[in-house]
A and B are shown apart, each in its own frame.
Chain A
Amino acid sequence: MSPHRPVPTGLAAPAAGMRRWALLGMVVVVLAGLAVLDRGIARTAPAPAAVPLAAEAAPAPSESSSWYCAGGSGGGNGVPGATVYLTNTTRTPVAGTVTVGNESGTAATSRVEVPPGGQVAVVPGQLARGAWLAARVDLDRGGVVATQTMGPASAWAVAPCASTASPTWYFASGSTAPGSRLLLALFNPTTTPAVVDTTFATAGGKMSQPAPFEGVVVAPGQVVVADVGTYVQDEPLVATTVSARSGAVVADEVEARQGVVAGLSLRLGVPAPRPSWSLPGIEDPAAGSSSLAVLNPTSRAEEVQVDVQLETGPAAPFDQVVGPGDVWQLETSSARRIPAAQPFTVHVSTRGAGGGVVVDRVVSSTGSTGGANAGAGSAASAGAGAPGWGSVPAAAAVPGLLVWALPGPVGPGSSPPRLGLSSLGGPVSVRLLALAGRTRVTVATLRLPAHGFTVVLPQVLGRAGGRPLLVVGSGPIAAMLDEVPGSPGVVPLVAVPLAPPAGSP
């Protein structure tokens, strides 16, 4: 041993050694506990940003609310003129202004007052001139639903106006095949100029970004309309993605088909992809075709499942992996697992960590056996006979207590519409209320089983006397209106939800 080698002196008594190990043990235990807490109880995930709905009526007691109707034609461009319908679901009158913009910007403003439970029609073409007109409706309260129609000269279409401006909009369907004309309308309702890029995807994952659609400047109050077919030609399925580099816009697509199966479709885009969509109570035409278009606008592949709920029970689901930027078309009318001429509900959902998809439904009826929704148990065949075509975005499957507002039958057709309702969860009781001034008349009371659906026939809806309808569910539901006008075309309309007031369950 070295003379300098220290010799244990006995200072470290056994108790000290035990204390040391106890201390170390405490450190290990505490750190392990903290690690368990840290990992076991996941960090409070950031509240997922509420995916905005394209159209959602502000709660009645709101300070103010706005609607943006982008796809209106001023006439003279081969597309019927547009009319904006404002439906007041509240018991108090709501006043506001309608500001119409054309392709050069804001053109005119008019005051408007919507009576309680009533409806007001505003024709932008009467307020301003222009090949394309867009309207911004500013109201001093909520509870008002705005829809716009095109027609009825050669065709007829209806779609809700947008309640939000967004930097992104998605359309899952569209066609530039011969006989089809696809127009994209961009409206900037904000006070900030927007710079917009547009991308088109076709079946098979082909993407195109035509130069004229890059960096399109949309000034405040301006509407810009472009013919997609000029740049994306002869494509039977064209999905569109609108993305604003700066600012926010509202995007509508107007599609007109000529030929044997003609029709007009006015579609409000979807501002964000969602993981689930519903098409309640639809029915494939006995003669014609029906399909779903599923667009995956995200950068990750999505595993998509399409559940079909028949009146007799669920059918085997369809599964498909949709690549990023790809669009998948599912021909429901040719699927053997879906019986022809039977109503059913489609629920599209995604599995995985993707950002969701966008779903459209396209219906084409040759008219040999009736309307688009003709079929067993349906009275929608009345007045049918003309071939028609239509397209509609699926209803967003939004959980929670929902109140859906449906405008009155504004189409020129003689046949009343049908209403498809489906439960998105457990059993739901649904009341149909017709708005009659400050009062509300119960049209029907229904009960939907869990994940079930029903189709409210025109006879029942007829009790509303053509007045706007409120659909009040005790649980999450989806609602969609099918209207078969006499004019060419199949006119489906997704009901517009009313946001519940703050604090309500």
Chain B
Amino acid sequence: MDARAPAVVAVLVTRDPGPWFDETLAALAGQDYSELSVLVLVSGGEEDPTERVARHLPHAFVRRLPEDRGFGAAVNEAMAMVEGAAFFLLCHDDCAPDPDAVHRLVEESFRSNAGVVSPKMVRWDDPSVLLHVGLNADKTGAVVGRVRPGEVDHGQHDAARDVFVAPGGCTLVRADLLQAIGGYDAGIRAMGEDLDLSWRAQLAGARVVVAPEARARHLQAVAGGLRPVAPSAGDPAPPTLQQLQRRNELRTVLKCYSGLHLVRVLPQLAVLAAAEVLAALVARDRARANAVLGAWRWNLRRTRELRSLRAAVRRQRVLPDSVVRRQQLRGSARLATYASRLLYQGFDVAHGLVPARQERAVPGEPVVGDGTEPVLTGSVGLAFSEDADFDDLDDLGRRSGRDRFGRRLPRRILASRRSRLLAATVAGLVVLFGSRGLLGGPLPVIGQFAPLQGWASTWHQLFAGWQPAGLGTTAPATPAYGIVGLVGTLALGGMGLAHKVLVLGCIPVGAWGMSRLMRRLAPPRARLAAALAYLLLPLAYDALATGRWDGLVAYAVMPFVLGSLVDAVRAGGRASASAAADRAVPVERMAVPVEGVAAAAAEGAGPAADGTGQRRATLRRVALLGLVEAVGVAFAPGVAVAVLLCGLGITAGSFARAGGRRCLRPLAEAVAGTVVAAVLCGPWVVGTALAGSQAVGVFGLPAAASTTPALGGLLRFAVGPIGDSPLSWLLPAAALLPLLVAREARLAWAGRFTAVAMMAWALALVTSRGWAGSFAPSLDVLLAPAAASLAACVGLGVAAFELDLAGFRFGWRQGASLLAAGSLGLGMLPVLAWSFDGRWGLSSTGYEGPLAFMGPSPGGYRVLWLGDPRTLPLGGWADGRGVAYGTSEGGLPTAAEVWAPAGSGPASRLADAVALALRGETAHLGRLLAPAAVRYIVVTSGIAPGSTSSEPAPPALLAALTGQGDLRAVPGVQGFSVFENTEALPERAVRRGPPLGAEATARSRQPAPAGAASSGSGGGWRPVLAGPPGGSVYAGPLPGGTVFASFAPAGRWHLTVDGRTQHEAPAFGWAAQFPRAARGAGRLSVSTSALVPLAASAEVAAWLGLAGWLLAGRRRRRDRGGGRADWPSAALVDAGGAQASAPAAGERGGADTTPAAAPADAGTAPAAASAPVAGMPARRERVPQAARSRGAAQDRQ
């Protein structure tokens, strides 16, 4: 018997090799495999390497090919030259196998009965770093690596297994297989020949296996830019690597699938390509778009060639596509990568505009192209690297959740990143589906959804120092105008789009915030559950249905607020752990898991544990909290109350658990954040404070106690139509689960969140019943902390179910868990059911429909709105519980009137006049309102016109208005009442006659002077001075006479006629009057203090400066390698005495998470970030796309 080893011929293809070639030759020369022959193919080029070959391999054969037609074509040439070989070792000239590599590859080939065997590829200059341990691919041919860039080889991949692609560089192929499949595809010059070969080998029935015991160093000269791709004859310009990769992928797909499968896959491929092109164009990544489109063009031009290639594949095919596809990744790697990057790394990274941090963090990695070109970013599915199925391969390495007999393997729900991403996508689609009716037209004028002004007007509102609310005021405007103006500017002036983004965007932002909040506390599945629970709580949709923008904003910011306070607790915990470490308490003696203490100590031992670092971290945290709070407060001042309530609740929860001064940290930081927010909103806060007792009104106006929900309604967030379902009770019920089954830190956090929710509910109950007097923050805002806490408890419940339940004996807790799971599912049904409405219950018709007759009018006018505060479509002031009033200029309100200043100023006279009518002390209310240019009075009785009168107007009010002799009811208006003032004066009027009398000037409560009143309906007053409603400058020809301007404050308004300032005399104590105005071109304008725009500018600068400082700090920490602390490290550290718990080793949740990443905002050491926790599996980091692509490129060198 012949005992000789099978003959192996190493085919080394080279062209103008660099200095590394000698090492390659030496490596081949040093092989311990006796039956190895070497054939060197010189594929074109100018250099003749024969002498260099002879120096190392004197017995090697050297054959020079006339031109460089690519690696595959050269290998095909070699096949014809060699006879009797059992294996071919196909080598690049920059790949150096270890001395035993060939030996082990051949061994593995026999052991696995594999046709293609690939060694473990390591970095050329640092063999301890992995490059590839085989590659995977999805159905579209997108190649995915199996190791992360820079991943150190410590044997974690040292198991032979099936892979879909044997990466190029050094590949052992059975000679008969290579002959049978016709060698490489000669049409592929570079980038993709290994995919093609491996695919066809599998179609021919061969296994493709990676043998990590065999190792080879690979330089990746082409991918690293050390060697350009040789141009082909057909291409006028050498294609980029990206173009080559895309066209060859498509070629392989078109070639290898059977017809039936191609019909299935090709449309998907086309759709994905179109989407990628669209995304690339949006990101201005023209190279990518050209590559994708060029791939299709290139292949469509070669349909004849493809037909013949397909015929060849058909002849070679042994296995059907269905079998081969089980080896492929499911879904689209590119899409998953894109979505994953978009979600976790941002738009720029997702589009390759900015390299991902991990990509830059790979030292020594060769740079593709010029280093900025997003050549292959996003082209491989890094998301799959965390696919739970990744490790679920069977003995044959098959995936797709099936065993070797094709039976489906049992799967865990939402265990994989992809399934979670899918669930999140479905939830997002549900929200999108439920909002479909809101995406088209403008939002109805309901609640706080008044249309935005133009972007310039919005900015002007911030800086002008005069607001039209009420009768006009010089109080500073809320910073919300700046935020709206900024978004409007970014939307290129599309304020409708900006409006919808700012309103509807609150819902996904809130869910995202919840996900980020739970990232600190729970494994991914629980995080998803919390985000879904928050997303499907009725609160946000009820706020949407009732037009409460403040509620939506509070919903959006509250998870971030809670997240910041969670960090505050953790900071306390770290300090505690640090102190514990300082006291050198042996970890064995602490009654907590060793892992937790180790992690805590590790964090505490970092540089950030010193006083300066902690102070800096605290400062950063407070600044961030203040910034987030300021955004919320700008739109919903009640957010400040909610933040303090959160701080108090978490503090109380911590006190209940452990006590001690450090428990005060959340409250202290909440207070500090509120102070920062107050500073950021400085001018507006000062203006509000100056309103005196009315200042409390900015938080909200007291609604009628009879119209507010009972405690049951508050508990299930039934502040609108959506929560008013019995099923809505189930979500709060599900949130009780962590109190029953959670342990240690999860139980502690559940207690804290429960305390926050309880306090929020209690405060909501107290204020809604009127027990807090005029302090009545909006219910939607007050309930936001409760909703966020409840959702967090849901997430903690899932985490407890996952991690803690196993620690209990079988009993009622398991039953409770099942009940909670059922409650969670059923509790989401009300929102899901309402999604079919398409508008979340928001009326399709606002006040803009029935009040369309209130058009612009010469001279201008005002509309006085009366009704329950929740029903007014603008901001206003309280006139007793359940009744509020506000004014709009020239008809329907705009955003300029939504955020009314705290002080009503002279507008209170309107309320006084209405009160007179209510008491029966006037029969001529219209006359009293005439100086304020109130032409219409609208009394609201529901959220929207025609809606059920849940907040009916006081009957006495309607009766009183009906009985007024100068108010005419406007017929035909449903759901609310409109009265027209028959005595109304124009807002800007002139008459030839004496000025308004002294009695009008002195006693504003007196009836308007007869002259004014009677002439309001045409007795002498004529409208003058044109301008936009709510403007601060009006101009036009003046006939001369007495000019009356119904604007406050008196003395601030000036009239010039032909440039000459006219004498001004106040009227009614607040309005402007210009007796003896000259004839000519008039210009009426308001002059405000220069301090106001200065203060507004300083305010904007403070916002930008703080945001920039935080971003810069974040970037610095990223550059240092720090990151936000994810679960479980965050959960391990607890202010209540550094107690911790960790999931049992091998738990799925634990397997997907990092053990101890340094909290970025806490400033802990990068060293701590990488410190593994004993007994816990290491987290599989996401592998940057570009790095994988580079790896793929290396394979093709």
Contact = CB atoms under 8 A, between A and B. Distances in A.
A66 B765 contact: no
A6 interface: yes
A247 to B, nearest CB: 6
Contacts of B754: 23, 26-27
Contact of B705 (A43, A56, A191): A43
A191 B809 CA distance: 79
Interface string B957-998: 001001111111101000000000010000000000000000
B924 A63 contact: yes
A19 B747 contact: yes
B747 A16 contact: yes
B770 A192 contact: no
B921 interface: yes
A248 interface: yes
Interface string A44-72: 11110110100010110111111000000
B923 A46 contact: no
Contacts of B954: 47, 49
B1140 to A, nearest CB: 10
A502 interface: yes
Contact of B706 (A23, A43, A62, A164): A43
Contacts of A191: 965-968, 982
Interface in A163-207: 163-167, 189-193
Contacts of A502: 919, 921
A24 B740 contact: yes
A166 B920 CA distance: 13
Contact of A63 (B657, B761, B966, B1007): B1007
Given A23-B751, A247-B969, A12 B743 contact: yes
B246 interface: no
Contact of A62 (B806, B922, B967, B1141): B922
B923 A247 contact: no
Given A23-B747, A189-B965, A164 B959 contact: yes
Nearest to A36: B711
B959 A52 contact: yes
A379 interface: no
A24 B793 CA distance: 13
B747 A46 contact: no
B744 interface: yes
Nearest to B810: A5
A142 B871 CA distance: 34
B928 interface: yes
Contacts of A190: 962-965, 967-969
B591 interface: yes
Contacts of A24: 739-740
A353 interface: no
A66 B747 CA distance: 69
Nearest to A6: B806
B916 A246 contact: no
Contacts of B967: 190-191
Nearest to A63: B922
A44 B921 contact: no
Contacts of A47: 954
B809 A8 contact: yes
B729 to A, nearest CB: 12
Contacts of A142: 921
Contacts of B982: 191
Nearest to A12: B743
B1006 interface: yes
B807 interface: yes
Given A30-B762, A64-B922, A190-B969, A43 B962 contact: no
B704 interface: yes
B1007 A46 contact: no
Contacts of A246: 969, 971
Contacts of B962: 165, 167, 190, 192, 247-248
Interface string A491-505: 000000001001000
A8 B807 contact: yes
A211 interface: no
> For chain B, which range describes its interface: under 10, 10 to 19, 20 to 34, or 35 or more residues?
35 or more
B769 A44 contact: yes
B776 to A, nearest CB: 12
B739 A58 contact: no
A186 to B, nearest CB: 15
Interface in B858-883: 881-882
A192 B1141 CA distance: 74
B956 interface: yes
Nearest to B963: A165
B710 A43 contact: yes
A153 interface: no
A481 to B, nearest CB: 23
Contacts of A140: 1007
Contacts of A6: 806-807, 1144
A146 B921 CA distance: 16
B593 interface: yes
A30 B762 CA distance: 9
Nearest to B713: A38
Nearest to A99: B965
Given A11-B744, A19-B747, A34-B711, A248 B706 contact: no
Interface in A18-34: 19-20, 22-24, 26-27, 30-31, 34
A428 to B, nearest CB: 24
Given A8-B807, A16-B747, A164-B959, A63 B739 contact: no
A37 interface: yes
A332 B1183 CA distance: 99
B711 A138 contact: no
A63 B758 contact: no
B765 A63 contact: no
Contacts of B593: 11
A126 interface: no
B807 A46 contact: no
A258 B528 CA distance: 87
A56 B960 CA distance: 14
Nearest to B881: A44
A52 B751 CA distance: 54
A276 to B, nearest CB: 19
B706 A45 contact: yes
B649 to A, nearest CB: 11
A140 B922 CA distance: 9
Contacts of A38: 710-711, 765, 769
B1005 interface: yes
A9 B807 CA distance: 7
A40 to B, nearest CB: 11
Nearest to B751: A23
A65 B923 contact: yes
B923 to A, nearest CB: 4
Contact of B761 (A8, A19, A34, A66): A34
Contacts of B881: 44
A190 B959 CA distance: 12
Contact of A59 (B706, B762, B765, B921): B921
Interface string B700-744: 000011101011000100000000000000000000100110011
Contacts of A164: 920, 959, 963
B654 to A, nearest CB: 12
Given A13-B591, A136-B965, A499-B919, 8 more contacts: A8-B809, A20-B747, A23-B754, A26-B656, A27-B758, A59-B921, A167-B962, A499-B920
13 contacts: A12-B743, A16-B744, A23-B747, A34-B711, A38-B710, A46-B705, A63-B921, A64-B927, A64-B1007, A164-B920, A164-B963, A191-B982, A499-B919
10 shortest A-B CB distances, which residue pairs? A6-B806, A66-B923, A62-B921, A38-B711, A192-B969, A44-B705, A63-B922, A191-B968, A49-B955, A46-B706
Interface of B: 591, 593, 656-657, 704-706, 708, 710-711, 715, 736, 739-740, 743-744, 747, 750-751, 754, 758, 761-762, 765, 769-770, 806-809, 881-882, 916, 919-924, 927-928, 954-956, 959, 962-969, 971, 982, 1005-1007, 1141, 1144
